[in-house]
Structure 1
Amino acid sequence: MPRVQRSPPTTPLAETHRARSSPDMTDSQKESESDFVNRTTRNQPNKRLRPDFSPENPADPQSFEEKIMNMLTTWKKEQDKMLKSLSSDILEVKQQNREIQKSNSEIEKSIEYINKEYENMRQLIGNMEKDRAEQCTYIAELERKVLDLQNSCRPATIEIRNVPFKEAETSKELTSIVIKTCNAIQADVNESQIRDVYRLPGKKELNRPIVAEFLTVPIKNKVLGASRAFNKDRATKDKLNTGHIGYTGIQKPIYVAEHLPTSMRKLFYEAHCAVNPPLELLNLEPSNALSVNSVNQFFANIGNNLAQKYINRPTYQSKPTDKSSPPDSLALLPTDESEVATIIFSLRRDAAAGWDGITAGLLQQCSNRLVPIIAHICNICIESGKFPKVFKRAIVHPIYKGGNRDN
């Protein structure tokens, strides 16, 4: 059975009645209140009744407003409290900001003062360094003068070393030792020719040298020459020793030498070691060129090595010898700009020019530009063992020295 849709019947528009409300309607024309209520209730949908505590309850219209006012009042108090706290914090931040600005201003002034003091200190240190350099130069000059004064005060002084020390030694006993030593080497010296005699200061258990000062320099030279002649052709055990001057027991060698200051003695010792080649030079290298290079290196650096040991000053560092050079290279050491400049300025300015027309005067005038280039080219040639052909060209003029011109 099909479903039937039921709907209320439509009312024709023509049958619609309109009425006016009149204030003077009679009571009979008014509907009863019960009928109106019933009709209203019937026409409106059913709704849930509001509870008594609803804010819209007409029974308590003031409760909602009071609650809202209370809530707003509480919120306002909280906001006022927060604003007051925020204002206090802002004032504190402002106060801190002013203090920071004041501190920054003081820091800036302090930095400016420190910078000013730093500049003054740097200038003072620069002046002190300059004064120190001048004082060091002056002290070195004074040391040189003192050394010259010492040498001039000791022109006729000798040292007798390794003589056994004796407790409570007197000047007379030392004079006797000097005379016995001179007589042993056949240098006749008497007591009247000795101006002064003493032992150098030092530890008592050591055999400190005896210093003897003669009246004249010829007497000193005679004693030194006699000492060298006495030890020249003798065996080690027969050279001048304590037995020659009357000491018994184990014989100890005695050395007679010129009395020198400490610095001069050091220089003399280094020079003595330098003139005696080390045994390593006798060891042959794998090739003849390397052997020759090692020997040349030793003798070429004697002066520099001695100066570095004796004088504490910086020296020019030349390039090290390349021992891996080809076997057929020349046994030459690398050069430097200082050596090239020395050679150029040692040339005569009026000397004849070579085949290239370059004179010695031109080389000397342009030395600032040419010296580094020439030194570099020479080092490359030495290291590679190859020399350009232009280096081997020359103009040779034979000069007649005498004899048969046709021979």
Structure 2
Amino acid sequence: MPNIQRSPPLNSSMKSSSRSESDLSTPTTSASCFTKNDTNITTRSKRLRMETCSPNASTSFASNTGDLRMDLLNMLSNWKEDQDRRLNEWKSSLDDTLSKLVSEVTHLKNECREMRKTNAEIEKGMEFINNIQEETSTKIKKIENYQKETTNTINKMESQIKNIQFHTRDSTIEIRNIPISNNEKFDNLLSILSTIGKTVEMTIDSRDIRDIYRLPGKPGVLRPIVAEFTCVNSRNELLTRVRKFNKEKLVPEKLNTQVIGLPGAKKPIYIEEHLGPAQRKLMFQTRQFAKKHNYSCWHSNARILLRMDASGKPIIIDSEKCLSDLEKKS
């Protein structure tokens, strides 16, 4: 260990030289600044502090300190009152806002409850409507199927009626544009038919005719004459001879009222098969279509036929749908 040297002991000269008395007002103490305790440790004693303030200054300072303390207390009291007032106002405002919120939330809950009830009723209504719709769809399908079956049945019946009408009219002809005479009777009409037969070089006897009559209609309208032959061959022979006669003649010389000796203005005479009401309507529509699209139109053996040109294949028209299909293709 290094050698540790102790501080040398203080002698009288050192004690006197280290002492300072210039700052002391009264030399009342003779104690040295440094002392040595029993353990040979040198310590420094504290210097006594003298009061520099007078009694009046102390009183004035205490008074000022009390006033400042009161001011601070007043400021704190005022600040506390202001904060309490603000807190109360904020609390009152918050209470009002919370009260409004509670009221609005309650109102919203009631509305939601009503909406849930309404939605439940709507769902029930929708379910009821869906059930009705399903039932209606099922009924509509049944009706559609029934309609298809009915349509097929009607088409079959119409076809059968056409066949029946054809067989009942297969020996019947229709003569148009013959003027109506006064007191027209069976013999008058039979005479006109016989004259037409002579004109086309065919003998028609009363025994060949089952019945002959003029169709009913509105007054003033030139109604056609219907003649029923006793056999189909006689009727077909007359139609063939009329077509041949018209084909060999010019337009002014074709079969007309003057050729058979009827009085009045000359009018062309048309002799055709006698068609039923439905076939007559379809024949009229077919003629309109033929004029519009430059087709040839005629009917034979109760069948209505169309042809584009002489070399084309005849088209059988048995319903309005055939004309509609041709219209779409044109």
Same fold at TM > 0.5: yes
The CA distance in 2 between the partners of 1:56 and 1:147, in whole Å, is 128
The CA distance in 2 between the partners of 1:307 and 1:214, in whole Å, is 26
C-alpha displacement of 1:18: 4.3
- Report the secondary structure of 1:244's partner residue: coil
C-alpha displacement of 1:144: 0.5
Computing the radius of gyration from Cα coordinates, the structure with the larger value is: 2
Could you say which residue in structure 2 is the equivalent of 1:33? 55
Which segments of 5 or more consecutive residues in structure 1 lack a partner in the other structure?
Answer: 1-10, 21-28, 278-297, 321-407
- Residues 163-184 of structure 1, C-alpha deviations (whole Å, 9 max, x = no match): 2345775555434432332343
Could you say which residue in structure 2 is the equivalent of 1:368? none
C-alpha displacement of 1:80: 1.4
Could you say which residue in structure 2 is the equivalent of 1:141? 156
Indicate the structure with greater strand content.
Answer: 2
Is 1:177 the counterpart of 2:192? The answer is yes
Tell me which of 260, 274, 286 is aligned to 2:307. Answer: 274
- Residues 337-392 of structure 1, C-alpha deviations (whole Å, 9 max, x = no match): xxxxxxxxxxxxxxxxxxxxxxxxxxxxxxxxxxxxxxxxxxxxxxxxxxxxxxxx
- Residues 95-119 of structure 1, C-alpha deviations (whole Å, 9 max, x = no match): 1111122222222222222222222
Tell me which of 158, 179, 190 is aligned to 2:173. Answer: 158
C-alpha distance 122-107 of structure 1, shift in aligned 2 (>3 A) = same
2:306 touches 2:316 (CA, 8 Å); kept in 1?
no
Is 1:124 the counterpart of 2:139? The answer is yes
The CA distance in 2 between the partners of 1:235 and 1:60, in whole Å, is 138
2:172 touches 2:227 (CA, 8 Å); kept in 1?
yes
C-alpha distance 17-141 of structure 1, shift in aligned 2 (>3 A) = same
C-alpha displacement of 1:246: 2.3
Tell me which of 211, 215, 227 is aligned to 2:242. Answer: 227
Matches within 5 A, 1:191-270: 191=206, 193-200=208-215, 207-231=222-246, 233-261=248-276, 262-263=278-279, 266=283, 269=298
C-alpha displacement of 1:76: 1.8
The CA distance in 2 between the partners of 1:91 and 1:228, in whole Å, is 99
Query: How many residues were matched structurally?
Result: 267
1:161 touches 1:208 (CA, 8 Å); kept in 2?
yes
- Report the secondary structure of 2:268's partner residue: coil
C-alpha displacement of 1:129: 1.1
2:305 touches 2:317 (CA, 8 Å); kept in 1?
no
The CA distance in 1 between the partners of 2:189 and 2:140, in whole Å, is 54
C-alpha displacement of 1:90: 0.9
Q: TM-score, normalised by structure 1?
A: 0.53
Give 2:321's aligned amino acid. N
1:165 touches 1:205 (CA, 8 Å); kept in 2?
no
C-alpha distance 228-32 of structure 1, shift in aligned 2 (>3 A) = closer
Could you say which residue in structure 2 is the equivalent of 1:398? none
Per chain length, whose mean CA-contact separation is higher, i.e. which structure has more relative contact order (CA < 8 Å, sep 6+)? 2
2:171 touches 2:230 (CA, 8 Å); kept in 1?
yes
1:231 touches 1:240 (CA, 8 Å); kept in 2?
yes
The CA distance in 2 between the partners of 1:59 and 1:218, in whole Å, is 143
1:308 touches 1:315 (CA, 8 Å); kept in 2?
no
- Report the secondary structure of 2:116's partner residue: helix
Tell me which of 89, 93, 96 is aligned to 1:74. Answer: 89
The CA distance in 2 between the partners of 1:150 and 1:309, in whole Å, is 14
C-alpha distance 58-176 of structure 1, shift in aligned 2 (>3 A) = same
Give 1:35's aligned amino acid. A
> Alignment identity in percent?
29
C-alpha displacement of 1:233: 3.6
- Report the secondary structure of 1:245's partner residue: coil
Give 2:47's aligned amino acid. H
C-alpha displacement of 1:82: 1.3
- Report the secondary structure of 2:298's partner residue: helix
1:162 touches 1:252 (CA, 8 Å); kept in 2?
yes
Give 2:260's aligned amino acid. I
- Report the secondary structure of 1:248's partner residue: coil
Q: TM-score, normalised by structure 2?
A: 0.63
- Residues 134-192 of structure 1, C-alpha deviations (whole Å, 9 max, x = no match): 11100000000100110111132111122234577555543443233234334333445
Tell me which of 306, 312, 319 is aligned to 2:321. Answer: 312
The CA distance in 1 between the partners of 2:169 and 2:322, in whole Å, is 28
1:243 touches 1:251 (CA, 8 Å); kept in 2?
yes
C-alpha displacement of 1:83: 1.1
C-alpha distance 199-187 of structure 1, shift in aligned 2 (>3 A) = same
